[in-house]
Homo-oligomer: A and B are copies of this chain.
Amino acid sequence: MDDEAVFKALADRTRRHLLDLLFERDGRTLSELESEVEMTRFGVMKHLKVLEEAGLVATRRSGREKLHFLSPVPIQLIHDRWIDKYTEHRISALADLKTKLEKSE
């Protein structure tokens, strides 16, 4: 697996925020994403490039705009790497519990 690019891409807080934005609504342009982040256009562009090269974001040009889409396949592969099929249900229960505890703080 070409995992290096994927994990490096996920290691930055801004890039994860961009993924969150695209998870919420797909097909946004660079300018639109830029307005959601405290950073110049150049920074955002660099981050999107990293995400695209990692296969976490797919793009499509439309005139002078570039549309960005979330591509979750690599995330699924991460999961499959360290979660044993047989213990998956047990872990899921733990993860749900952890989420609930944190929300109720």
Contact = CB atoms under 8 A, between A and B. Distances in A.
Interface string A48-90: 0000000000000000000000101101111111111001000
Per assembly, the copies of the chain total 2
A95 B83 contact: no
A7 B10 contact: yes
A76 B95 contact: yes
Which secondary structure characterizes the binding site on chain A? helix
Contacts of A73: 91, 94-95, 98
Interface string A13-26: 10010011001000
A8 interface: yes
A82 B23 contact: yes
